[in-house]
Chain A
Amino acid sequence: MTAAFSARVDKALADPTLKLAIDRTTGTARAKRAAAVAAWPQFDAARDLGRDIKDHVIANLGFYLAEFERNAIASGAKVHWARTAEEACAIVVGICRDAGAKSVTRAKSMLGEEIGLPHALDEEGIERVETDLAEHIVQLAGDRPSHIVWPALHKTREQVGELFRRLHADPGALDSVEAMVGSARRQLRQKFMRADVGISGANFLIADTGAVCTVTNEGNAELTTTPPRVHIVTAGIEKLVPSLAHAMSLLRLLVRSATGAELTQYTTFHCSPRRPGDADGPEAFHIVLVDNGRTRMLAEGLSDMLRCLRCGACLNHCVVYRQIGGHAYGGVYPGPMGSVLTPVLEGLAQSQDLPRACTLNGQCQEVCPVKIPLPTLLRGWRDRAWREGLEPTVSRAGIGVWRIFVLRPRLYRLTTRLALPTMRLFARRGWITSMPLAGGWTRHRDFPAPARRSFMDQIERTRR
């Protein structure tokens, strides 16, 4: 483990409130998802369909990109293409500059985070208003998102109340979560109406109409995309679906997997700028199609990951995420899906700890609505790190030593036979609270005392 990752994990594990905050939100999310899935007996077959729809699009991506572009342009949208995060930000900032924008509202978009759009807008000196409640909290705190669906999941209500008391114009009593939401509503109300540009992401791009789908429960996306003069969408090229009907099948899977609801409160398909006679809507509509590593994923055997709907279920069910939270991962995307994506975005040498921060218990794959084989993809990164000689010297040497033993079963059994009574010397009432060489484990939790005899010995005794 690199020192930087280890330090972030230590900080997370030592945080007195983080675990509680994570448990509250992910616990609710798991329970609600489980209830939604239980009410849908064909869920597993529907996941196959979701997988097949996305695979079909990815296998014909060039066709669907061209079709989407043609239909979007015909409807009156302007379509832009960006190979990299830098190109994408330059396009968005350029549109804002041309529009003379002083203020920009943003509806939460993971792609926006991925390409560093908040930073690019700040650099340009444009007022940036995050409108998703959680992103608003994160922006006020000068913090980073820690979950792809609940970005402020690491904050307790007390911390949010303190933040709003300090930074809201009219915070009121703030004695309940309701009062906090009310304060944010008052704070953002006028900003929605005064913004020059609204920026959103896209959950789906509809190829046969050129429309862009956003989903929210707050209604902040439509309040972001309707009043300003300009609406800009930034979307990854993998977000395409052939038609509205295909989007419906994926929406069923996405929303249940994310929050356990049957559909988000506000599911909107945006197409073209304001029409003649329309009472509201933007005068200009720009769509920025972003690659940023996606074509490389296609070429390097990671096309399964391009199915990802960004529902967050793999985070909520991950035993590692639930201990360390999102910030410890260091990238924009945390949890299992993040550990697959971050090496693409930042390079394996910088992020090789992430694919190893995984027990390979397979929970993520079990809950994935489009059946992404996340453990297989994570193992793929581990293999590659080993082949490229990126494995740190200590663990490389450790695996070398272990290899000597596993290839010699007698020696292995002899060693475990000696190790068991030694470990039991440190046990008190069935638990080891500290032991030489085990500090990395026992600093944060106890280790169960081993059985008196090894598994192999027990088997042999029963055979006799």
Chain B
Amino acid sequence: MNARDAILAAVGSGSRPAAEIAREAAALIERVPGLRPDRVNGDPAEAFLARVTGPAIGATATRVAALADVPGAVRAYLDAHDLPAGVALQPHPKLGELDWSGVETHRAIAVDEAAAVLFAPYAVAETGSLVFRSGPNMPVLFAFLPLHCLVVVESASVVPWLEDCAAIEAKRPAPRNLNLITGASGTTDIEGALVRGAHGPANLHVIFVEPSNPKP
């Protein structure tokens, strides 16, 4: 008997109908809403911003009114941090179509890239997570190699809960990498002391696009 057959025989491949197992699995998920920690009160977009800039995650954020304002926000960030005026630009059409005059942009990301600008298709309010789906528009390493990671996300794309992320992903084919990014890289491996920038970015900056924000 090969290893596969031996293991499956040992766990008992089972004769229960698949539909019955699926019903049980679905019933487990139905219990979730009453058991979640109460982390999303009111507007998910505001909850996301509060969480991502709160002490636990410690990212910074700027609000802009339109995607067209993103290059200006990037320039302001680079100036404020004394960074060279060049960024690796994730090859996403929403970023590519903007007017980047005044910021040098390049498509390839270097191993020691100072700053990169990324577009996140959506975000999760509960945990303050930015979601990336790898693909031709979204190379994985853009979120891991730069020292400063600048992420553009639209307020309308914020979903309240992790289960909403699961529901969105259940409707489409899984990408090579689904990355939930919740803050800059950090480590507590030496005496439990938190240090940012272990291998990935040391700084996470969110550029939050809120078109014609009606809220006070």
- A170 proximal to B (CB < 8 A): no
Which of B65-73, B79-87, B96-104, B136-144 is near enough to bind chain A?
Answer: B136-144
> Are A24 and B185 interface neighbours, CB within 8 A?
no
The distance in angstroms between the C-alpha atoms of A271 and B170, with both chains bound, is: 13
- A189 proximal to B (CB < 8 A): yes
B134 neighbours in A (Cβ, 8 Å): 275, 278, 280-281
Cβ proximity bits A207-234 to B, threshold 8 Å, 1 near / 0 not:
0011100000111101100110000000
> Are A270 and B28 interface neighbours, CB within 8 A?
no
Given the known A-B contacts A133-B189, A281-B134, are A219 and B111 also in contact in the complex, defined by CB atoms under 8 Å? no
Given the known A-B contacts A245-B163, A252-B162, A269-B174, are A62 and B13 also in contact in the complex, defined by CB atoms under 8 Å? yes
Contact of A267 among B128, B145, B182 (CB under 8 A): B182
> Are B177 and A270 interface neighbours, CB within 8 A?
yes
B178 neighbours in A (Cβ, 8 Å): 211, 268-269, 271
Interface centre among B6, B36, B141 (most CB of A within 10 A): B141
B12 neighbours in A (Cβ, 8 Å): 61-62
User: What distance in Å separates the Cβ of A143 from its nearest Cβ neighbour in chain B?
Assistant: 13
- A141 proximal to B (CB < 8 A): no
Given the known A-B contacts A28-B188, A131-B199, are A81 and B4 also in contact in the complex, defined by CB atoms under 8 Å? yes
The distance in angstroms between the C-alpha atoms of A271 and B133, with both chains bound, is: 11
> Are A222 and B166 interface neighbours, CB within 8 A?
no
> Are B28 and A53 interface neighbours, CB within 8 A?
yes
- A56 proximal to B (CB < 8 A): yes
User: Which chain A residues in 138-178 approach chain B with CB under 8 Å?
Assistant: 150-153, 155-157, 160, 177-178
A193 neighbours in B (Cβ, 8 Å): 111
How big is the A interface, by class?
35 or more
The distance in angstroms between the C-alpha atoms of A130 and B166, with both chains bound, is: 31
Contact of B28 among A27, A49, A151 (CB under 8 A): A49
Which of B16-24, B42-50, B150-158, B208-216 is near enough to bind chain A?
Answer: B16-24
> Are B198 and A219 interface neighbours, CB within 8 A?
yes
Contact of B186 among A24, A45, A157, A217 (CB under 8 A): A217
On chain B, the number of residues with a Cβ less than 8 Å from chain A's Cβ atoms is 77
> Are A243 and B170 interface neighbours, CB within 8 A?
yes
Inter-chain residue pair count (beta carbon < 8 A): 267
User: What distance in Å separates the Cβ of B41 from its nearest Cβ neighbour in chain A?
Assistant: 13
> Are B144 and A132 interface neighbours, CB within 8 A?
no
> Are B195 and A178 interface neighbours, CB within 8 A?
yes
A56 neighbours in B (Cβ, 8 Å): 24-25, 28
A197 neighbours in B (Cβ, 8 Å): none
B11 neighbours in A (Cβ, 8 Å): 61-62, 65, 237, 295, 298
Query: Which A-B residue pairs are the 4 nearest by beta carbons?
Result: A219-B200, A295-B10, A279-B139, A218-B198
Instruction: Please name 24 pairs of A and B residues whose Cβ atoms are closer than 8 Å in the assembled complex, sorted by A.
Output: A21-B191, A45-B35, A46-B36, A60-B24, A62-B13, A83-B6, A133-B199, A137-B189, A184-B198, A189-B111, A190-B111, A218-B186, A218-B199, A218-B200, A219-B199, A226-B144, A245-B166, A247-B166, A248-B165, A267-B129, A268-B179, A270-B177, A275-B135, A280-B139
| 14 extra A-B contacts, CB within 8 A, seeds A137-B189, A281-B176 | A42-B34, A60-B16, A157-B190, A157-B191, A177-B195, A181-B187, A181-B197, A190-B111, A244-B166, A245-B166, A259-B188, A267-B182, A271-B176, A291-B10
A interface list, Cβ under 8 A from B? 21, 24-25, 27-29, 39-43, 45-46, 49, 52-53, 56, 60-63, 65-66, 75, 81-83, 87, 131-134, 137, 150-153, 155-157, 160, 177-178, 180-182, 184-185, 188-190, 192-193, 209-211, 217-220, 222-223, 226-227, 237, 242-249, 251-252, 259, 261-275, 277-281, 289, 291, 295, 298-299
